[in-house]
Structure 1
Amino acid sequence: MGESVVVKWLTPPAPLPHPALDIFPHLVAAQFRGTAPPYAALTAELDGREHLLALVTGYLPEARDGWEWCVDEAEAGRTAFASDLGHLTADLHLALSTFPEPGDAGPIDAGPIDAGPIGAGPIGAGGRAEGALAEALDLTGGEDGAWLASRAGALRRDLAPLAAPIGTPLIRIHGDLHVGQILRWRDGYAVIDFDGNPTVAGADLRQPAARDVAQLTTSLDHVAQVAIKRRSVPPARATAWTGAARAALLTAYRDRLAERGGPGLLDERLLRPFEVEQECRELIYAARHLPRWRYAPMGVLRTWYPEEKIS
C-alpha cells in the first residue's frame, strides 16, 4: 500500500493462537532486524472464536523472493549469497532461542543461550518422520513411486536418528524456512512469513534449530532443480552449485553461532534425517496441492540416492 506497508490477508482467517502474534513482539524485543518490521495485526471474533484476519508489516523496496533471485544465482553459478543466509538464519535462531518457555512471563534475555541439553526431543519426531515417508510412498505413483519404493530402506535408515532422544536445545523455530521466505531487497536480506508449516498438523512449537536449517538447505537443492528444468542449467553444474552453496551457508551459520556464544544450538547429526523428512513432505505437498512440483523433490532424492549408493 503506497510503497509504505504490506498488508497480508489470511484466507481463510486463522483461529488464534497464531505463531506470528507471539514471534513478532519477541523479535522486536530481541532486536532482530532481519525481517520486515511488524506494525499491526487485525483480528475479529468469528463464530465465537478470535481469528487473525491480516498482518501489517513494513514495505521493503525492490524485494524479490528466493524462488526468483536464488534461481538467478544458481543459473549464474554464484554462491556469495549463501554466507549472508547463514548469518541471517543464525541471528534468527539466537533471537528465537530466548523465547520464553510456556507460562514464563519473565523478561527477555537476549544474551547468549545455554548450549546444554534442555530436555528430550519433540515427542514423536521419529514417528512423524516415518509417517511422512509412508505417506509419500503411498501418494507417489508411476515410475517415481516405483523408484521411491526401491529406496525406502535407505530412506528409513537415514530417518532413524529421529527415533532416539534428542539432546540438542529445543527453541521456537521459523517452521517453514526456505528460500521463498527470504527476500532480497534494496538493503540486504529479510526472512518473512512466520505462520508455521502449513503441511504439518500439530507440529511442536519448540524444535531443534536443525529442523529450520535442514529445510533451508533442501530448498537450495530445489532451486538447483528449478534451474535445471526452467533455465536449462546442466545437472552436473547445478549439483556442484548446490554443494558449494550448502557448504558456505553452513559454515557461516556455525561461525555466527560460535561468535555469539551459541555453538551448541545446532546438532548436525539431525540435518540429514530432517532433510529426508522434508523431501517426503515435499512429495506429499505435490500430491495433494501442486502435482507439477513433484519433479523437484524427486530430482533431489535421485541425486542423493543413486544406484551405486543403494545396498
Structure 2
Amino acid sequence: MIAHAAAGRHAGRHIGHHVAVHDHDPADRTPAAGASARVARLRAPAHVGAGVERPITVDQTNRSVVVDEAVIVKWFRPPRPLPHHGSDVLAHLSEVGFDAMPAFFGTDEADGLVVASVAEYLPGATDGWEWYLDEVHAWIDGTVPTAAMERRATGLGRLAGRLHVALATPSSRWPAPVGEVPVQTQLDRMRALFERARAVTTGITAEHLARRWSAIRAAIEPQGVDGAATTPAIAVHGDLHVGNVLAVGDRLVVTDFDGNPLSEDAAARQPAVVDVASLLQSIDHIGRIVDHRTGGARRGDLTFFIGDSVARALEAYRAELASASLPHLLDDRLLPALRVAQELHELAYAAAHLPHWVYVPDGALTAMFPDET
C-alpha cells in the first residue's frame, strides 16, 4: 500500500551469494533482464531450467518476476534491513513443516539488506479478493451451494489456526516462539485508531457514525481487562486477510508475510487475536463488497453470509488451537474490541488514501452498532 522511496543503485555486484541485479534506473528499480533467473537458479536450482522471465505487471509496492512459471522472485523496493521479519517467519515456518504456503527457497542479501525473496510460484492461484468474491456472487445466484460457502469459511479458520500453531512451534531460529506482551499496547493502539478515524471521517460516513461514536468508543475498552496484564504473543502474520489467502483449486495457502506496511509493530511479537480480528473482518468485507455491487438487493442473504461465515471461521480456528493444546493463544477478551479497531483502521486509511473503500468499513461499523438516537 505504501510507495517506497527508491534505494541506491547496485550494478553488477556479487557479495557472497548475492547476485547483482539493479543495473537500471534506481527510481524505477525494475530488475535487469536475466537477474531474476540468476537469483532463482541460485536459490531453487531444481525448479529452474531455461530461466524464462515474466514480470508481474499489476501495480505493486515491490517488483515480482516469475521464472519458468515455477519460481517467483520478489524484489524489495527499497531493500529491507536485516534482520527481516518476513524472511525470518518464512524460514521458521519452513523448518517446522508448515505447508499451507508457497514453498520458501530463501533470500538474496547484500550489505546487510534483503534485496529479494524467492518462493514457489503457484500457477492458476487467485487471491481472496477474486476467488471469494466470485464464489459469493455465485452463491447468491444459486450456482454455488450453501455447503460450499460453509466449507470455505471453515477452511479459512483452519488455515489461520494451523498458521498460528506453526508460529507457536519451537524452531532453531525461534526456540521459544511464544512470549507475553502488555495488553496496554493494544488498548493504546485502539484508542489512537479511534481518534484518527473520527478525525478524518467526513461526508455521508460521518453522518452514519455521528450517533455511533460513543458506542464505538466504549467497545474498544473491553470490560474487565487490566492494561497492566499480559497476553500471549507470537510472530503473527501481521496482515492476515482474505486477499493474502490464495486458492489453488480446493487448496488454500497463505502468502505475503511482510506484515501490515502501515504498522509500526510489524516486526514485533503481537497477540494472535490481532490476526484473527483482521481475518474475520476481511470475511465481513467480502459481504459488504458484494452487497455494494448488487445495490443492496440481497442484503438479507449477505448479512447471513457474514454472520455464518465469521462464526464458522472462528470455530474452526479455535478447533485447530485446541487440537494442539494451545487454546490460550486466543485472547477472547480482546477479540470484539480488536474487530472494531480493525474497522477503525480501515476507515482511517480509506478516508486518507483510498476514498472508494470507505463504504466497506462504514457498512461494517453501522452493522456492528445499532443507530443511536
The reply to whether TM is greater than 0.5 is yes
Aligned 8 A contact 1:170 1:207 in 2: yes
The AA in structure 2 aligned to 1:191 is V
Question: Equivalent of 2:200, from 116, 136, 139?
Answer: 139
Q: Distance in 2 between matches of 1:123 and 1:168?
A: 10
Q: Distance in 2 between matches of 1:53 and 1:120?
A: 31
Distance 1:137 1:107 in 2: 39
Q: CA deviation at 1:79?
A: 2.5
Q: Per the alignment, do residues 61 and 33 of structure 1 end up closer, same or farther by CA in structure 2, a change over 3 Å counting?
A: same
Between Structure 1 and Structure 2, whose CA radius of gyration is higher? 2
In structure 1, C-alpha distance between the alignment counterparts of 2:135 and 2:239, rounded to whole Å: 22
Deviates more, 1:228-237 or 1:3-12: 228-237
Tell me how many residue pairs correspond in the alignment: 295
1:147 shift after superposition: 2.9
SS in 2 for 1:14: strand
* Residue identity in the other structure for 2:126: R
Asked whether the equivalents of residues 34 and 190 of structure 1 are also in contact (C-alpha less than 8 Å), the reply is: yes
8 Å Cα contact 2:69/2:123 also seen in 1? yes
Structure 1 residues 67 and 276: alpha-carbon distance in aligned structure 2, compared to 1, 3 A threshold: same
In the alignment, which residue of structure 1 is the partner of 2:339?
Answer: 275
Q: Percent identity?
A: 38
Tell me the secondary structure at the aligned position of residue 220 of structure 2: helix
CA distance in 2, matches of 1:306, 1:26: 44
1:263 aligns with 2:324: no
Q: 1:273 to 1:15 in 2, by over 3 A?
A: same
The residue type paired with residue 209 of structure 2 is L
Which residue in the other structure is 2:165 paired with? Answer: 94
Q: Over residues 218-264 of structure 1, what are the superposed CA-to-partner deviations in whole Å (9 max), with x where a residue is unaligned?
A: 00111111111225561221111011111111111111111121121
When residues 51 and 284 of structure 1 are mapped into structure 2, their CA distance, relative to the original with a 3 A threshold, is farther
Q: CA deviation at 1:271?
A: 1.1
Cα drift, residue 138 of structure 1: 0.9
User: 1:18–1:52: 8 Å Cα contact kept in structure 2?
Assistant: yes
Measured in 1, the distance between the counterparts of 2:195 and 2:169 equals 35
TM-score normalised over the length of structure 1: 0.87
In 2, Cα distance between equivalents of 1:165 and 1:204: 22
3-state DSSP of counterpart to 1:55: strand
1:1-59 per-position Cα deviation (integer Å, ceiling 9, x unaligned): 221011222223333332112111110111111111111212333xxxx3322211101
Identify if the C-alpha distance between structure 1 residues 106 and 137 changes in structure 2 by more than 3 Å, giving closer, same or farther. Answer: closer
How far apart, in 2, do the equivalents of 1:136 and 1:107 lie? 36
Residue number in structure 2 paired with 1:159: 220
Aligned to 1:197: 260
Corresponding residue for residue 57 of structure 2: none
Change (3 A) 1:99 1:215: farther
The alpha-carbon deviation at position 294 of structure 1 amounts to 0.7
TM-score by length of 2: 0.73
Moved more, 7-16 or 265-274: 7-16
CA drift at 1:99: 5.4
Partner of 1:67: 129
Stretches of structure 2 lacking an aligned partner (at least 5 in a row): 1-66, 141-148
| 1:1-311 aligned within 5 A | 1-45=67-111, 50-75=112-137, 76=139, 78-98=149-169, 108=175, 119-161=180-222, 164-186=227-249, 188-202=251-265, 205-232=268-295, 234-307=298-371, 310=372
**Distance of 2:221 and 2:272 partners within structure 1:** 18
- State the alpha-carbon separation in 1 of the partners of residues 255 and 119 from structure 2: 10
Greater relative contact order structure (CA < 8 Å, 6+ sep): 1
The runs of at least 4 consecutive aligned structure 1 residues that moved more than 3 Å come to 105-110, 165-168
2:38 paired residue number: none
Pair 1:217–1:166, CA change in 2 (3 A): farther
Question: How far apart, CA to CA, are the structure 1 residues paired with 2:168 and 2:158?
Answer: 15
Compare the two structures and name the one with the higher helix fraction.
Answer: 1
The 1-side partners of 2:81 and 2:243 are apart by: 24
Residue by residue over 1:100-121, the C-alpha shift from the partner in whole angstroms, topping out at 9 and shown as x without a partner, is 7xxxx677489xx8xxxx5452
Q: Distance in 1 between matches of 2:180 and 2:123?
A: 42
CA 302–159 in structure 1, closer or farther in 2 if over 3 Å, else same: same
CA distance in 2 between partners of 1:74 and 1:15 (Å)? 40
Q: CA deviation at 1:184?
A: 0.5
Q: Could you tell me how far apart the structure 2 residues matched to 1:61 and 1:186 are? A: 10
Are the equivalent residues in 2 in contact too, given 1:34–1:191 (CA < 8 A)?
yes
CA separation in 1, counterparts of 2:242 and 2:174? 32
Structure-1 separation of matches of 2:133 and 2:88: 32
Pairwise CA RMSD of aligned residues?
2.3
User: Counterpart amino acid of 1:135?
Assistant: R
